[in-house]
Amino acid sequence: MGVSSASEATVAKLLSRTLAPSEDVSRRVHKKKSATQRKLRQKEQKQKEELKLLLDKELADKKRKAEIKKNARLVRSYDVKESEYAMDEEQLQAQIMKHVNSKRGSHMLKSKQLAELTGRLPKPKVKHKTYPNYVEPEEEETESEGEDEFERYKGQPGLTPGLAPVDYESSDEEEVDE
């Protein structure tokens, strides 16, 4: 016959439907499964699920422990790098001091050269701490101005510049009287 294998399968299915169950040899008769078999099947399925959950928990624990180990390695590597950096810093300071000691005398290193060696620039020297927009007035000090300052502080309680506190003598006299 010139019929393909796919069409043969469909023909066989159609024939099996049309034939009576007693006449069909290939068809198996399925018995209704008993309650005990169903309970066994459910028990096995429960055991499989529990095993799967247990394996999932173990896998999660392994992942968590691996993450902890990874973080510990990172911390250790950071500590190692930090100690290496500290050793490098100490070696650099030793080299600088060696260089400074070798150049002592007439060939002292200037602060700019030292800053270049260390990689740090010195802080600019500030004579007085001032506000950024503050402009100092030009002062010409006279004798009368000094007296004016004394008069200004004279009436205020507390310490005056260069003088004893106000009412200092009166508090001293009270202690003597008692």
Q: How many CA atoms lie within 13 A of 22 on its CB side?
A: 0
Which H/E stretch holds residue 47?
helix 35-102
Closest CA to 113 of 101, 126, 96, 125: 96
Interacting residues of 156 by C-beta distance below 8 A, sequence separation 6+: 166
Residue-wise DSSP of 127-178: SS---TT--PPP----HHHHHHHHHHHHTSSS--TTSPPTTHHHHHHHHHH-
Average pLDDT over residues 46-61: 92
Integer Cα distance of 40 and 137 in angstroms:
102
pLDDT in tens, 56-109: 999 999 999 999 988 888 888 878 888 888 888 888 888 888 777 776 654 455
**CA distance to 105, 153, 161, 163, 165, per residue, from 172 (Å):** 58, 21, 20, 15, 11
Dmax (CA) for the chain in angstroms is 145
pTM score > 0.75 for this model?
no
104 residue type, one letter? R
Q: What is the pLDDT of residue 61?
A: 92
